[in-house]
């Protein structure tokens, strides 16, 4: 499994932006082959992190391109700074 974690500094409401991402960005990401899951985390102090999980490195890296495109066209005012991105193979995964 492959993951992509993007951390953003949000201008405005993290909750409102998360709702928009759920309805606008998630459907785009779900079209990638091997889509597994997507999470948004309120990091506090105006920070938001997104976690995308895929079965392939290609899809994980593509999700970064898709997220950047969505931000550039739909959320540029709320996310004016480039995110910190960490992408790679998941080495440990535990679920309940």
Query: Alpha-carbon distance 71 to 49, whole Å?
Result: 14
What does the DSSP assignment read for 11-57? SS-HHHHHHHIIIIIHHHHTTSTTEEEEEEEEEETTEEEEEEEESSH
The pTM of the full predicted model, rounded to 2 decimals, is 0.90
Segment-wise mean pLDDT, segments of 10 residues, the chain, 96 residues: 96 94 96 95 95 95 95 94 95 91
Show me where the domains of the chain are located: 2-89
CATH of domain 2-89: 3.30.70.100
Report the pLDDT value the prediction gives residue 63, as an integer from 0 to 100: 95
Report the pLDDT value the prediction gives residue 83, as an integer from 0 to 100: 95
Query: Alpha-carbon distance 51 to 1, whole Å?
Result: 13
């Amino acid at each position: 499994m492959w993951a992509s974690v993007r951390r953003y500094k949000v201008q405005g409401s993290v909750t409102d932006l998360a709702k928009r991402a759920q309805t606008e960005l998630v459907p785009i990401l779900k079209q990638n082959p091997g889509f597994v899951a997507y999470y948004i985390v309120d990091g506090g102090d105006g920070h938001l992190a997104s976690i995308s999980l895929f079965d392939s490195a290609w899809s994980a890296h593509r999700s970064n391109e898709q997220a950047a495109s969505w931000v550039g066209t739909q959320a540029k005012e709320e996310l004016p700074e480039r995110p910190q991105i960490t992408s790679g193979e998941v080495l440990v995964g535990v679920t309940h």
